[in-house]
Amino acid sequence: MSGNPSAWNPGELDRRQAELFRSFLDEHDLRPVFLHAGYLINLSCRTGRNAPLYAKSLRLLQATVERAAALSCEYVVVHMGSRRGTGRGQALESLVDGICRLDEAGCPGSGQETERRAGAAGSRPPALLLENGAGAGDTVGSTFEELAEVLSAAAVSGVKLPLGICLDTAHMWGDGYDLGSGAAARRVVDEFDRVVGIDRLHLIHLNDSPVERGSCRDKHEHIGQGLISVKGLGAIVRHPGLREVAMILETPGKSAPSDQKRMEDLRALAGE
């Protein structure tokens, strides 16, 4: 996040701070960098009284992609939102049309604007990563099939903005995917590869969860302190097909365990 995740106005980007941020990334070789879009964004419903929300979502996502380019971030992660009682077909059309409008608006990452900005910055423009949901209510994109459907529809529509997937393990667990053992987790990864393709996966939010599998609830917990099998999470971290996929901890709390302990636990999980 580069602003309040629950606000429509992310505020002005301090150009001096942005310059210092880019220099810090280069100095410490911290790549890739992911910028998470605001939680209020919902591109999956634009009918009736939801039209103003859709318009605001488009503006905020466009501003986020532009900010990511200014900060030299490689990726923007966004939740796909809720269809709010509309049909799956309508939600898909709404979502893909929203992504197409980012192209039309000249966002970094599309058409000639991509070439101009990428050439000036000396790096590729930010890609948009669609994050899976936990299956609550009318949430869009909780299953691998839905993720594949969105990517396919976007390709058919001629979307030029680079697209990919971010998977959250707590969300998968909430939607019913079995991460209860190493073998089960490996089967889930194989299923994702078959349905979507590991080549489309660029980020994993590696979270445990305090709620039961299939609860359709989005709750995060530190690794080993929730209900997801440590062996299951370990199988994901050590999966040979995921060696090039970045992984980020999104676990709650500002006290115990410390950030250092969290990272030590993750490295231990990876066998380092």
Domains of the chain as residue ranges with CATH: 15-269 (3.20.20.150)
Q: Is the pLDDT of residue 247 over 80?
A: yes
pLDDT digits (tens, 9 = 90+) for 76-108: 999 999 999 899 999 999 999 999 998 776 676
Which is it for the CA torsion 250, 252, 257, 260, positive or negative? positive
pLDDT digits (tens, 9 = 90+) for 223-244: 999 999 999 999 999 999 999 9
Least trusted range by pLDDT, from 70-79, 100-109, 179-188, 261-270: 100-109
Torsion angle of C-alpha atoms 103, 109, 115, 120, degrees rounded to 10 = 130
- 């979507």: which residue's tokens? 196
Distance from chain centroid for Cα 213:
21
Output 251 or 169, whichever has higher pLDDT.
169
CA atoms within 13 A on the CB side of 50: 18
Residue 6, pLDDT score: 86
Output 108 or 111, whichever has higher pLDDT.
108
Q: In whole angstroms, how far apart are CA 22 and each of 63, 68, 88, 122?
A: 18, 11, 40, 13
